[in-house]
């Protein structure tokens, strides 16, 4: 069994880093698809030591949150999956994966969503092929992309990473 990792098999935000600054923005293709009605940008500025979160919904409603680095307790990194193919023995062959990256806060405020990465997952072992999975399986790059973002955040913010304990989040 062969696993092909393709970027096109996953959804990821646009990520740009320059020295101690990081921008995570809604993917351009998604903004076009939604006719510009939704845009989210998280800007982590290492020079000013602030995190800026800007969100626009339905062209008119805009929200902004500004969080100082000292209020970021840790990076919450979460994973969930939804099985999409299996066999009669209960084995899972394929799934849709989701990796969430949040900034957990030291105060009582909810965590800040930085990004969500979604895509096709593959089991990738010969046992699934023998039970009916495809010989060539497609997998997205969502796991590697989300880990790269977490590494950038750890580098700039100087905080640790912990498993996510929450189902959802808000802007700030």
113-134: b or e for each residue (b if 16 or more CB lie within 10 Å)? bbbbbbbbbbbeeeebbeeebe
- pLDDT reported for residue 172: 37
pLDDT at 121: 78
Helix (DSSP H) and strand (DSSP E) numbers for the chain = 3, 12
3-class DSSP state of 153: helix
Return the half-sphere exposure (C-beta side, CA atoms, 13 A cut-off) of residue 82: 6
DSSP state of 7: G
pLDDT of residue 62: 93
Residues 34 and 26: beta-carbon distance below 8 Å: no
Res 30: pLDDT? 86
Please name which of 103, 84, 101, 100 lies closest in space to residue 92, comparing C-alpha atoms. Answer: 84
Where in the chain are the domains?
Answer: 2-163
Structure tokens at 29: 């293709």
Walk along the chain (172 residues) and give the pLDDT tens digit of each residue.
566 666 777 788 999 999 999 999 999 988 898 898 999 999 999 999 999 999 999 988 999 999 999 999 999 999 888 877 666 666 666 778 899 999 999 988 899 999 999 988 776 555 555 555 566 677 788 888 999 999 999 999 999 998 886 544 444 3
Cα torsion angle, 19, 22, 26, 32, sign:
negative
Please give the C-alpha separations between residue 127 and each of 81, 83, 124, 135, in angstroms, as whole numbers: 20, 17, 9, 11
Place of tokens 């969080």: 67
pLDDT value, residue 6: 67
CB of 124 closer than 8 Å to CB of 136? no
Tokens matching residue 149: 């973002």
CB atoms closer than 10 angstroms to residue 89: 7
Q: Classify residue 39 as exposed, middle or buried by CB count within 10 Å of its CB (0-12, 13-18, 19+).
A: middle
Q: Can you read off the two tokens belonging to residue 85?
A: 């193919």
């Amino acid at each position: 069994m062969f696993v092909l990792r393709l970027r096109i098999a996953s959804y990821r935000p646009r990520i740009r880093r320059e020295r101690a600054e990081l921008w995570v923005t809604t993917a351009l293709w998604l903004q076009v698809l939604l006719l510009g009605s939704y845009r989210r940008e998280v800007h982590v500025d290492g020079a000013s030591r602030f995190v800026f979160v800007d969100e626009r919904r339905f062209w008119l409603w805009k929200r902004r949150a500004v969080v100082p680095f000292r209020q970021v307790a840790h990076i919450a990194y979460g994973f969930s999956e939804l099985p999409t193919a299996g066999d009669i023995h209960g084995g899972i062959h394929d799934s849709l994966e989701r990796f969430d990256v949040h900034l957990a806060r030291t105060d009582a405020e909810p965590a800040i969503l930085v990004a969500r990465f979604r895509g096709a997952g593959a089991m990738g072992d010969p046992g699934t092929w023998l039970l009916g999975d495809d010989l060539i399986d497609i997998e997205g790059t969502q796991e590697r992309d989300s880990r790269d973002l977490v590494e950038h955040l750890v580098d700039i913010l100087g905080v640790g990473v912990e498993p996510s304990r929450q189902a959802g989040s808000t802007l700030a």
